[in-house]
Amino acid sequence: MKVADRMRAEFDRAFASPAVPPVRDGARLLGIRVGGDPFALPLADVLGLHVDRKIVPVPSSVPTLLGIASFRGALAPVHDLRLILGYPARTPTRWLVLVAGATPIGLAFDAFEGQLAAPSATQEPPPPAASPTASATARASALTRGLVQAGDVIRPLIDVAAVLSAVGGRPAGPPRNKER
């Protein structure tokens, strides 16, 4: 299949998908996959979603740092969300999300599943798993803030502030007033 034909088919499929209706008192989320598991990111923390962005490796002692990437002329560090959540490293990912912090940070993940609407997040931690990814599940639960159900899939909701703290970034906060 030619590239143009593939792009045309993807474009047409986007219109065949039902629109995500606005949700009152609910959460607007991005559905993603990390290490094969479903997760959700709060849309309020997302500055941009990117695919096939060039990441330039930089020397670092931080194991999660993949490198830096340019976003509208500004450089931002890009971290591997799989490693942050405790999953093993694999081949490079195609997807990046730029999240709001004191300095924006890119998070690389495996797959983008779409924009989701969920009525609300529950506050129970994800159930423990008895699988080879049990350590990843334990690490991931420390970086999530409950579960959300969108459709028939229950997803841990990633706590962006906790992820930023884990990589040494700071969550975005209100501007500080300087005293004179």
Cβ neighbours, 10 Å, residue 99: 26
- What pLDDT was estimated at residue 53? 93
Mean pLDDT of 17-46: 78
- What pLDDT was estimated at residue 48? 94
- What pLDDT was estimated at residue 114? 93
- What pLDDT was estimated at residue 17? 58
Mean pLDDT of 43-69: 94
Q: What is the pLDDT of residues 86-141, one digit of tens each?
A: 999 887 789 999 998 888 999 999 999 999 987 755 544 444 444 444 445 555 67
- CATH code linked to domain 26-166: 2.40.50.180
Mean pLDDT of 145-168: 90
**3-class secondary structure, 161:** helix
Q: Beta strands of the chain (E only): which ranges?
A: 27-34, 37-42, 46-51, 65-71, 74-80, 95-99, 105-109, 111-118, 121-122, 144-150, 153-158
- What pLDDT was estimated at residue 138? 54
Class of residue 78 by CB neighbours under 10 A (exposed 0-12, middle 13-18, buried 19+): buried
C-alpha 125/C-alpha 106 separation (Å) is 25
Mean pLDDT of 13-35: 70
- What pLDDT was estimated at residue 26? 62
Q: What is the pLDDT of residues 67-84, one digit of tens each?
A: 999 998 889 999 999 999
Instruction: Give the model's confidence band at 172: pLDDT under 50 very low, under 70 low, under 90 confident, else very high.
Output: low
List residues bridging with 76 in a β-sheet: 69
C-alpha 19/C-alpha 123 separation (Å) is 28
C-alpha 105/C-alpha 149 separation (Å) is 26
Range with lowest mean pLDDT among 41-50, 77-86, 162-171: 162-171
Q: Can you give 60-98 as a three-state secondary structure string?
A: CCCCCEEEEEEECCEEEEEEEHHHHCCCCCCCCCCEEEE
Q: Are 87 and 134 in contact (CB under 8 A)?
A: no
- What pLDDT was estimated at residue 135? 47
- What pLDDT was estimated at residue 131? 44
Sheet containing 37-42: which strands, arranged edge to edge? Answer: 111-118, 27-34, 37-42, 153-158, 144-150, 121-122
- What pLDDT was estimated at residue 4? 82
pTM for the model: 0.72
